[in-house]
Each structure stands twice: as structure tokens, then as C-alpha cells.
């Protein structure tokens, strides 16, 4: 027992969790319009348990064990960053959650990213970040090219380019309410509302 490595202090683990049921209820009932301004998951809005936070840290450290310390202080959680080239398998997460604008991820960025995929994260948070992830060109809309990129990523080239084209055209046709040829975040939300399995599929096991 004397050799046990403590990754975070008890206080730090408390800080990373939703503090009580009233806080959780606040985030679960947040109006969707507040998400448009850009919600941050942050230290006081993480829906992971303590054990899950420690597992997230383990996964983060595995990306660059030479950079990420086993025992991390609060300051290091935001200052120690894994370079973008180490996150090549998760480019969408890298672009959506990196706060330095260069694709590098701190532990808090990484925790934010995986928190969105927690089963406990509310739908509004998931919708907002799903929109950011699928907005590949980061222009604030999901256009035809974004849908094509999304389909390529999701189907792993199991469909032909013609099938991708047909699906993208159909999505735009059915969801583009204002007829501008692209989806706003509100139009994207309407699509999600018609996808009852969205919450269960927008999930990553840690």
C-alpha cells in the first residue's frame, strides 16, 4: 500500500466532478440556445466518476508517457499538452476540443472531449459538440463537403462515392429548412431529435 501512486488529490477529483444533484439538474435542463454560445464542460461539469477520471488520465498519459506525469497537479492538467501529431487517430476531437488553436490537447481538453461521450452527459451538450466535430471545415455550418467527410469517416469506405453523394443530398434536402444548402446548429438539432439512438451511439467506452 505504501507504494501506491496517487494521480490526483481528493480535492482535485472533487473539483472535476459535477458537485451535486442540483448542478447535474442544471446542466440537464439547460436551454439549447445557451449551447450556441459555446458551452465548456470544464472542471465543474464533468460527468465521470472518480474512477473514470483516473482511467481518462491513464489513457491521456499513454499518448505521451514521457510528457505526462503520473501524479498531475492542477496547473499541469491545463499546461502539459500532448502534441497534435500524437492524436492523429482522433483528428475531429483534436480540432473540436483543443484550446490552444494548434490541435494540442491538455488533460483538461482531453477530459472535456471524453466527457461529451459519457452516458451521463446531457443531450444538449452532445448535440453542440457533435455539430463541432462534424463541421470539418469549421465554418459554423455543416455543408455538403462536411457530410461527405463524415460519411467517409463513419462508413470506413464501405459505401461508394455515389452512395455518399446520395445520402448527403438527402440529408440536405430534408433538413435544410432555410434552403441555403447547409445546416445550421438548430437545423442539425432537428435532425438529431429524429434520431432516437443518437444518445446511445454518441458514446465512447473508457
Question: How high is the pLDDT of residue 14?
Answer: 66
Phi, psi dihedrals of residue 105, rounded to the nearest 5°: -120, 130
Count of the separate structural domains present in the chain: 1
Q: Domain for residue 92, yes or no?
A: yes
CA distance 56 to 77: 12
Q: Domain for residue 42, yes or no?
A: yes
Judge whether 59 and 111 are in contact, CB under 8 Å: no
Query: Can you give the pTM of this predicted structure?
Result: 0.70
CA distance 204 to 206: 6
Residue 82: its H or E element = strand 81-82
Q: Domain for residue 64, yes or no?
A: yes
Q: Which three cell numbers stand for residue 7?
A: 494521480
CA distance 184 to 197: 21
Structural domain containing residue 23: 10-121
Question: How high is the pLDDT of residue 82?
Answer: 92
Each residue's pLDDT expressed in tens, for the chain with a length of 206 residues? 434 444 666 677 666 665 444 444 443 333 333 333 444 444 445 778 888 888 999 999 999 999 999 888 878 888 999 998 887 666 667 778 888 888 899 998 998 888 888 888 888 888 898 898 889 888 999 999 999 988 887 787 788 889 989 999 999 999 999 999 999 999 999 888 887 777 777 777 77
Question: How high is the pLDDT of residue 144?
Answer: 93
Q: Domain for residue 113, yes or no?
A: yes
Pairing state between β 81-82 and 105-106: antiparallel
Q: Domain for residue 90, yes or no?
A: yes
Question: How high is the pLDDT of residue 7?
Answer: 63
Q: Domain for residue 126, yes or no?
A: no
Tell me how far apart the terminal alpha carbons of the chain are, to the nearest angstrom.
25
Question: How high is the pLDDT of residue 64?
Answer: 93
Amino acid at each position: 500500500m505504501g507504494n501506491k501512486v496517487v494521480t490526483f488529490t481528493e480535492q482535485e477529483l472533487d473539483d472535476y466532478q459535477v458537485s451535486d444533484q442540483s448542478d447535474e439538474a442544471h446542466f440537464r435542463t439547460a436551454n439549447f440556445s445557451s449551447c450556441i454560445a459555446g458551452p465548456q464542460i470544464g472542471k465543474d461539469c464533468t460527468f465521470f466518476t472518480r474512477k473514470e477520471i483516473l482511467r481518462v488520465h491513464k489513457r491521456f498519459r499513454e499518448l505521451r508517457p514521457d510528457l505526462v506525469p503520473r501524479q498531475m497537479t492542477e496547473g499541469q492538467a491545463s499546461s502539459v499538452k500532448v502534441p497534435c501529431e500524437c492524436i492523429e487517430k482522433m483528428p475531429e476531437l483534436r480540432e473540436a476540443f483543443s484550446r490552444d488553436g494548434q490541435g494540442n490537447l491538455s488533460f483538461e481538453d482531453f477530459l472535456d472531449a471524453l466527457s461529451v461521450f459519457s452516458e451521463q452527459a446531457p443531450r444538449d451538450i452532445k448535440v453542440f459538440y457533435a455539430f463541432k466535430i462534424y463541421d470539418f471545415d469549421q465554418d459554423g455550418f455543416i455543408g455538403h463537403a462536411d457530410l461527405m467527410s463524415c460519411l467517409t469517416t463513419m462508413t470506413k469506405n464501405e459505401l461508394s462515392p455515389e452512395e455518399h453523394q446520395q445520402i448527403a443530398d438527402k440529408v440536405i434536402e430534408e433538413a435544410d429548412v432555410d434552403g441555403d444548402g447547409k445546416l445550421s446548429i438548430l437545423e442539425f438539432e432537428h435532425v438529431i431529435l429524429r434520431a432516437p439512438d443518437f444518445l446511445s451511439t454518441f458514446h465512447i467506452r473508457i
